Every structure is written in structure tokens, then in C-alpha cells.
Amino acid sequence: MSDSTATGNDLRATDSPRITNFESVEWKSYSKGRFGCDVKSVTSGIGAKNLDCTLIRLAPGQVNGPYHYHHVAEEHFIVLEGNGVARLDGREIEIGPNDVIVCPTGPTGAHQFTNTGTEPLVYLAISTEGSIDIGEYPDSDKLVVFVDGVEAASRFRAFRRESQVEYWDREN
């Protein structure tokens, strides 16, 4: 028994809102064509302000989402089960259990995951969070602005680069 448990400081004993278990969180599914995944996001409900931790599951043949990178959020991925391919900085690399993938901010952090195996590809995504982020999608030439973090899906806007206007446009 640890000293904190012996002295009554075990956070689980007080039903702390800062501890949760992935088993207590329901899967949410997202899909659009070949893109899709199941996710369990645990940190938003337990008080995390600057980090996000999400369990992601891809079915065989699924791609997690469009190839992209972030300007603010750094992401780390830890493969727990299954096999697949990570598209990183324009290259495809085979991934499997216990692989740790680091995606820094900027173009060298561009990433996308595809399940090439016959079993689910399950990985943990840990990322820095802030009140705003900007994502770039090289394949579709889009910019996405996230306000109040990536999880606030209702507060993001996507733009094509060709819709760019000058700074003083419509300003009088």
C-alpha cells in the first residue's frame, strides 16, 4: 500500500473528478467515406486544461481522417493493438503495438493513420490543447481554424486557400 493510501489521500476513495477509466467512457463514432474512427475522449471531463488524451480505434481498412498538421497542438500517438500505416511528413511507415509516434507542430508533423491489418488498430492520442489551433490539409489545400480546442467541433471553420482575401478587404 502506498503512503497516500495509508494516510487516506487516495484520490479514488474520494471519487475525484480527476480520475477516470476508459471503460467508463462510451465510444463515439465518426465516418465520412473511407475516413472514420471510434473515439473515447477522457480528459475534457476530468479537469485537463492543456492536454487531451483520446483512445482511437480504426476498423480494418479505415483511415482516421485527412492528412494534416497543426500549428499549435503537438500530438503523440502510442499504438496499443493492431497494425497499420502511418503517413508521416509525406512518407508511409508501418506501425504496430508499442510504437510511439511524435508529431511536432508544423509541416514536419503532418500525419494520417490507416488500418492495413485484419483486426482493429487501437492507439492512444495525447495532444497539447489550447484555446485556438490552426490545421493545414495539404492534400485538399485547406486551412481549419479550431476555437476552444479541437474537441469543440461546433467551433471550427474550414477554408480553401484560394478563398484568401487581402487583410484590408471590406474594411473602410
> Hey, where are the domains in the chain?
28-130
What is the structure's pLDDT at 24? Answer: 83
Instruction: Please report the pLDDT score of residue 153 as a whole number.
Output: 56
- Between residues 135 and 172, which one has the greater pLDDT? 135
Q: Please report the pLDDT score of residue 47 as a whole number.
A: 76
* Higher pLDDT among residues 45 and 93, named by residue: 93
Which pLDDT score is estimated for 154?
A: 57
Instruction: For residue range 105-154, list pLDDT tens digits in order.
Output: 999 999 999 999 999 999 999 999 888 899 999 999 999 998 875 555 55
The residue among 20, 27, 26 whose CA lies nearest residue 43 is 20
Distance of CA 45 to the CA centre of its chain: 16
Q: Determine the distance from the C-alpha atom of residue 119 to the mean position of all C-alpha atoms in its chain, rounded to a whole number.
A: 21
Topology (CATH) of 28-130? Jelly Rolls (2.60.120)
Mean pLDDT, to the nearest integer, of 69-89?
96
90-99 contacts: CB < 8 A, separation 24 or more?
Answer: none
pTM, entire model? 0.83
Q: What is the pLDDT of residues 29-66, one digit of tens each?
A: 999 999 999 999 888 677 778 888 999 999 999 999 99
